[in-house]
Structure 1
Amino acid sequence: MLDVNRLRMLVELSHRGTLSAVADALSYSKATVSQQLAALEREVGVALLRRVGRGVQLTPQGNVLVAEAIGILDRLEHAEVAVAESLTEVTGTVRIAVFQTAAHALLPPALLSLGERHPALRVDVTESDPETSLEGVASRDFDLMLAEQYPDHQRPLKPELDRVVLTHDAIMLGRRAHDETDAGTALRAAADEPWVLEPAGTASRAWAEQLCRRAGFEPDVHFEVADLTTHVRLIRAGLAVGLLPDLVWAGDAPTVALAPLPGSPRREIFSSARRVSAEAPSIKAVRAALAEAAGALLPE
């Protein structure tokens, strides 16, 4: 009978591409991963990997086994869900990947609620960018993730993951001084200001640049910072202007002047889980608590 742990290593290799990445993801040494995959080849009786330069590639037979192994792992996960559904108490551990503002605004009230309602449930939280989180859920590093979706910027869809919209939050222009200019005027007036934006390559940065270009200018980015708390401090000090979503305030009063943007854009906040485990009582409980927290902060 084939070893399930070895099958998972093979699936991880198909996702991650290198033995080193598999070793890091599963907390093994690279040598151990290589030995276990060699043992799997002996069990199957055919070559599953071939050397390509300094790396490895799956053979056609390796790809066939990966497809079957994914089904086996899904069935095992489904069995775990079935057992959990038979219990009268929500138990287990849910591993969540979240982006910064969701961790800042939604997690504290959600976790407090879960602690009161389901004391036997453990929630482990990792801050992660949405792109990494999606891959992490697909490869079973996480059970659930929260991500953001900016207007007209669709994130990649993975058929093995579901997608549940949690809430929407408005995005405003943050600046130190307040005036009564309308949305279009306020943005164009910021054309000559220093800007703070998230790093290049992020969805928020791409969206912000397109917004400014539609207004007729290229933002003069003085600060590339992932931490939105730093954005707020720079804007409050008068050192920059930037784009701030409602969740950054976590229900508190804004500490900078906010001006509307053309079209009143809103960011979508959604969660994704593997479809095979989405009905697990633990994941449903976490999603319900997050939805309650979101509803209290940002009523639709």
Structure 2
Amino acid sequence: MLELRRLRLLHELSLRGTLASVAEALSYSPSTVSQQLAQLEKDAGVPLLVADGRRVRLTEHGAMLAAHAARALELDEQVRGDLESLRTGTAPVQVAVMQTVAQSLLAPALTLLRDHDPDVVVAVTELPPEEGLFELAARRFDLVVAEQYPGHSRAHPTGIERTEIGRDAIRLAVRRGEPARDLDALRGRPWVMEPSGTASRQWATQQCRAAGFEPDVRFEIADLTVHVRLIAAGLAVGLLPDLARAPGRKELTLVDLPGSPAREVFAATRTSSTRPAIAAVRTALKDAFTARTAR
């Protein structure tokens, strides 16, 4: 018999690439992961791993079994969903959200969930969208709230589905009272943006380039509350989504951009996630966003 928990370790290794990464993600020691995979290799009766310098890589048999492991994990998830349909709240829904959703939507959504589905238990972690979506595929989370910027489509991995939560307007932000009319007027100013490699950074940089200049990014900071403080102090200018809430936002002037751009805020789940509790969390997030924009 091939044990599902050992198959999961092989699946994780196919995604993460190293035994140390698998151990860290699943809170095991590297030696435990190595021992369990060695036992899986014995059970399978074929070589699954081969040394590659200081690392290991999957053999052809290992890659084949990892693909079967992914399907076995999907089936296990579907079975658990069917069982939960008879009694909700049997296990916490593991959720990852980006910072702006944690600030603006999390409490209202959980309040709605408590009122309508009190048996549903939710555990929440704040993560950048890129990391959260990877961990969703790796089954660390059941639902991830992420973003997509105009003209910057994210990859659509097999087995992952998206549900739009809402559209979040993005505006130019400067210190209150500053006479900024458009991006071009700020070409010589210091900018604050999120770190390189994030969707928001790529989009913001492209907006500046479309306006005819390369932004002078003095501050690379993931925390949007710091963006707000720097802009309010007149130390930088930036582009902020409406969901970004922080002390000092009232000290900003927000300027509409041409075309009224908005990022899509969406909930991503695995297609094999059939648990009613996950659907309830997704509905609560969407309702919280709708209620917020209606105010």
- Matched pairs, number: 294
1:266 to 259, 262, 265: 262
Matches within 5 A, 1:218-237: 218-237=214-233
| Alignment partner, residue 215 of structure 1 | 211
Q: Deviations over 1:57-84 (max 9, x none)?
A: 1111111111211111111111100011
Deviation of 1:29 after TM superposition, in Å, equals 0.6
**1:188 and 2:184 are equivalent in the alignment:** yes
TM norm structure 1: 0.93
| Alignment partner, residue 128 of structure 1 | 127
Deviation of 1:2 after TM superposition, in Å, equals 1.1
Q: Deviations over 1:153-202 (max 9, x none)?
A: 11121111101111001111111144776xxx521111111111111221
Matches within 5 A, 1:235-254: 235-249=231-245, 254=250
Q: Secondary structure in 2 aligned to 1:163?
A: strand
Deviation of 1:215 after TM superposition, in Å, equals 0.3
Does the 8 A contact of 1:153 with 1:207 survive in 2? yes
CA distance in 2, matches of 1:255, 1:170: 19
Structure 1: where are the runs of 5+ without partners? none
Q: Secondary structure in 2 aligned to 1:282?
A: helix
Query: Which amino acid is 1:52 matched to?
Result: D
Query: Which amino acid is 1:152 matched to?
Result: G
| Alignment partner, residue 69 of structure 2 | 69
Q: Secondary structure in 2 aligned to 1:8?
A: helix
| Alignment partner, residue 287 of structure 1 | 282
**1:296 and 2:291 are equivalent in the alignment:** yes
CA distance in 2, matches of 1:293, 1:255: 26
Does the 8 A contact of 1:168 with 1:298 survive in 2? no
Q: 1:254 to 1:150 in 2, by over 3 A?
A: farther
Matches within 5 A, 1:34-113: 34-87=34-87, 89-113=88-112
| Alignment partner, residue 200 of structure 1 | 196
Query: Which amino acid is 1:289 matched to?
Result: A
Q: Secondary structure in 2 aligned to 1:169?
A: strand
**4+ long deviations beyond 3 Å:** 177-181, 252-255
Does the 8 A contact of 1:19 with 1:34 survive in 2? yes
Q: Deviations over 1:11-49 (max 9, x none)?
A: 111011011011111111101111111111111111001
Structure 2: where are the runs of 5+ without partners? none
Percent identity (aligned): 51
| Alignment partner, residue 165 of structure 1 | 164
Q: Secondary structure in 2 aligned to 1:248?
A: coil
Query: Which amino acid is 1:188 matched to?
Result: D
Deviation of 1:118 after TM superposition, in Å, equals 2.4
| Alignment partner, residue 175 of structure 1 | 174
Query: Which amino acid is 1:296 matched to?
Result: A
CA distance in 1, matches of 2:96, 2:289: 17
Q: Deviations over 1:119-157 (max 9, x none)?
A: 222111111111111110111000000001111111121
CA distance in 2, matches of 1:259, 1:57: 52
CA distance in 2, matches of 1:200, 1:299: 33
Deviation of 1:280 after TM superposition, in Å, equals 1.4
